[in-house]
Amino acid sequence: MALEVRPIDTRLQIQFDLGQDQNGRRVTRTKTLTRIKNDIDDNQLYDLANQLAGLQIHPVSMVRKIAQFEYVNV
C-alpha cells in the first residue's frame, strides 16, 4: 500500500517579549493565527510573521509554525 500525507491544519504562533515583571522574570505573550493555508511555503510564512511583527509594539522573541498532517493508505 502507498502512503499519502495530507495536511490538515497550519497555524502561526508569534511570541512577544513584554520585558520583566517586578520579580525580574521574563514576561511574554503569544498570538496564534489560525486558518493559514496548508500549502504556504515556510519562507512566505516567515515573511508574514515579520510583517505582522512590524505592526506590533513589543519585539518578537519567537516565531513557530504548527502543522498537522494525517496519514492515509491509498
* Chain segment 11-43, per-residue pLDDT in tens: 999 999 999 999 999 999 999 999 999 999 999
Which residue blocks in 1-74 are alpha helix, DSSP H?
A: 42-53
CB 28 within 8 A of CB 16: yes
Average pLDDT, the chain: 96
Are the beta carbons of 73 and 6 closer than 8 angstroms? no
What's the rounded Cα separation, in Å, for the pair 8 and 10? 7
Distance CA 34, CA 13 (A): 9
Place of cell 502507498: 2
pTM over 0.75: yes
